Amino acid sequence: MTTLTTSSIAPRVSSVDWAPVFAGAIGAAALSLVFIAFGAAIGLTLTSPWPGSGISLVATGIFVMYWTALVQILSFAMGGYIAGRLRPATHPSDDERQFRDGAHGFLVWSVGIIMMALVTAFGGGVAARSASTVVAGAATGAGAAASQSGIGPSNYAADLLLRRGAGATSGDSDPASDAAVRQEVGRLFASVATNRELTVRDRDYLAALVERRAGLPPAEARQRVTEAVNELRTLEARAREQAERARKATVLTGFTAAATFLIGLAAACAGATFGGRHRDEKTAFTVLGKPFW
């Protein structure tokens, strides 16, 4: 007689409960978008395009950094709490349950960051397409005007150099060759940005050109060349300062974003642990002493 022995195999239970994770991530993303919209409205009320009104650019940057950190803390703390509170406690050890609650908070933060990135990318793309459609005609006209007028430090310095003096007459210059002369002067001034100085030959050539076309005495022509070169250097220095400020602002924005993301991670893990403790203790979530749900 043969005896058959059967044994039951325990079903495999995953240590990760994805439903609470996605619930917490969706809640965190929704709260984050609401808080960001509210903060943007506050920021627009504090700033102004008019000189001397509204808060300064530094104060605006500080407000943005603090508000972003606050948004990360509030939204991910609530998302982590939801995940920790909804996650079933399947392990008898208190330390293991606390670790798993915190791990679910980390997953809430990870999924929430991805969700917000997708929403931001989609919303930014829609806004960019709408803005480009609205301003297409204006941008085309402005671009054509800028191209025709030749806006730029070198072109402005060329205009300053070739400005007609009191002794010049309408026949002193040929309008057909005026554009070619300005292009030549612009190329000479472009070398100033690279070499930081005009050669003696170029300076003498420009002085003779100004003397002939603007109707100025030799001494005044040389003085005008010097003034135009100094003005060009000033404009180039301002452009470099603006580029440097933009670079520093970009670096600061990157570091601030990374720091606020890490703050959100800590808030999500802490919120999930706190929610797991309330789950185990069967404690109601209260606001101002009253149950919230």
The mean pLDDT values, 10 residues at a time, for the chain of 293 residues are 52 76 93 89 81 77 88 94 88 83 94 87 57 44 43 63 56 58 73 70 80 80 82 82 87 88 94 90 78 70
The span from the CA of 274 to the CA of 287, in Å, is 15
pLDDT score of 81 = 94
Q: Is 77 exposed, middle or buried (0-12, 13-18, 19+ CB in 10 A)?
A: buried
What letter would DSSP give residue 170? T
pLDDT score of 138 = 40
Direct distance between the N- and C-terminal alpha carbons of the chain, in angstroms, rounded to an integer? 63
pLDDT score of 269 = 95
> What are the φ/ψ torsions at residue 291 (nearest 5 degrees)?
-60, 130
Q: Which residues of 87-102 are buried (b: 16+ CB within 10 A; e: fewer)?
A: beeeeeeeeebbebbb
Alpha carbons within 13 angstroms on the beta-carbon side of residue 262 total: 5
pLDDT score of 117 = 85
pLDDT score of 160 = 63
Other C-beta atoms lying within 10 Å of the C-beta of residue 116: 19
